[in-house]
Amino acid sequence: MQSPPLVPAARLGWLDALRGIAALVVVFDHSSYTFMADFRRELMPQFNTSRYGIMVFFLVSGYIIPASLERRGCVRTFWIGRLFRVYPLWAAVVTVLLALHLLGIAEMRDFGGQSAATVVVAHATMLQELLGTPNLLLILWTLSYEMSFYLLVVALFTVRLHQRSAVVAVLLAVLAAVGVTAGVALPASALSGVVGTGPLIAVASVAMAVALCCAGARSPVLRLFGGVLGGVLALVLVPFNGTVPLWEGLVILAVMFLGTAVHRAENGQSTWGCAAGTAVVVVACAVGSAYRYGDGDHFTRRGWIVAFLLAVLTFGAGLAARRRRIPRLLTGLGTISYSVYLVHPVPLAVIDGTIGRRQQDSPALEVAFFTVLLPLCVLTYRYVEAPSQRWGSGLARRTRPP
């Protein structure tokens, strides 16, 4: 039976609303360091706002990214679309940050003696979080998991297993639970510690370049090789070289594939029973893993579990309201959410590097920061994101194979 047509991403206003909400929560999480530190210290053990926003983003990505690939039916045009969607604003933000650092008004993170070339190559792959390289901006770590998800989605599409999203989500979640139950724990960037950061970055960057180039090849054999190579790269790096605990890296991927399973049920490619069963397993394994892991360096288990459950409930509420009229304010926030996510650390770095963080909570300054940030993000969307997406769409049309 032929699958029903996929719903165009532009019509999914509820996803835009979720993106907008998630972006605002992440901005609050980071800006509260500067403007409301006391309140943040009390809130975080109970509700990890960062993990909440990030998990909502991952669920939304899981829902829409594989659909984008399958709607195109072409790996080459998918990668062109993704690269023009993600890289231009990323490059603009990184360039501005470097310029502000050279002017002495914004501090950059210490790279632990890594050479500039190593840092540049690692960031160019967007896998730097999984290559043992500190992120230029803290928020860039999530893009490494996004890129890993892209590689896995392409791999499954290439080997014609892309319809098995629910199975993949359950497998990843169960592996996370089994690993933490068995006491399997690896140090941060464990693989880098074994083979060395430089060699790992060199191998990974070459592998990723080959995978992307082969994706656009005419030969089916080369396309298959490229897809599988990219998938293997992601499956090696996520569990063995992340800075988050091994179980959480697997849970992140499981959450994204859960979003895909929901999309398949929504479009008649699977059943709602299958999606619901997948959600139960993923949620149970994630919560169980966090509980057994306990209080880690990055979070308390209570704060993580509450954030995770609320993120899943938020996604479910958005799904339930998908046929309702979504306020334009929320869809507008979703439209600029990538700008909000990437741009907000830059003014915070300037404030921290010049004025300094507040000694007492100041809700007024928190509100003022949002008031300045959102119009700025409208500009970056209009003059950076939107034009680059149009260029990417045009290039994809011209290079699409017959």
Model confidence pLDDT, tens digit, residues 366-396: 999 999 999 999 999 999 999 999 999 998 8
Positions in the chain whose pLDDT score sits under 70: 1-11, 401-402
What's at 388, amino acid-wise? S
Burial class (CB within 10 angstroms; exposed 0-12, middle 13-18, buried 19+) of 169: buried
- In angstroms, rounded to a whole number, what is the distance separating the alpha carbons of residues 387 and 202? 32
What's at 104, amino acid-wise? G
Q: For residue 108, what pLDDT is reported?
A: 78
| H-only helix segments in 136-245 | 141-158, 165-181, 190-195, 197-215, 220-241
- In angstroms, rounded to a whole number, what is the distance separating the alpha carbons of residues 398 and 348? 40
Tokens for 292, please give them: 């057994």
CA angle 85, 189, 236 (to 5 degrees): 65
Neighbours of 61 (CB within 10 A): 22
Q: For residue 185, what pLDDT is reported?
A: 82
Tokens for 267, please give them: 């479009």
Contacts of 227 by beta carbon, 8 Å cutoff, 6+ apart? 75, 154, 155, 157, 158, 159, 211, 214, 215
Instruction: Determine contact, residues 29/49, Cβ cutoff 8 Å.
Output: yes
Q: For residue 1, what pLDDT is reported?
A: 34
- In angstroms, rounded to a whole number, what is the distance separating the alpha carbons of residues 343 and 359? 24
Which candidate, 86, 62, 84, 246, places its Cα nearest to that of 156?
62
Which candidate, 214, 255, 261, places its Cα nearest to that of 233?
214
pTM of the model: 0.93
- In angstroms, rounded to a whole number, what is the distance separating the alpha carbons of residues 204 and 202? 6
Calculate helix-pair angle for 13-35, 49-72, nearest 10 degrees: 150
Instruction: Determine contact, residues 22/318, Cβ cutoff 8 Å.
Output: no
Kindly compute the dihedral angle of the four CA atoms of residues 273, 277, 279, 283, in this order, to the nearest 10 degrees: 160
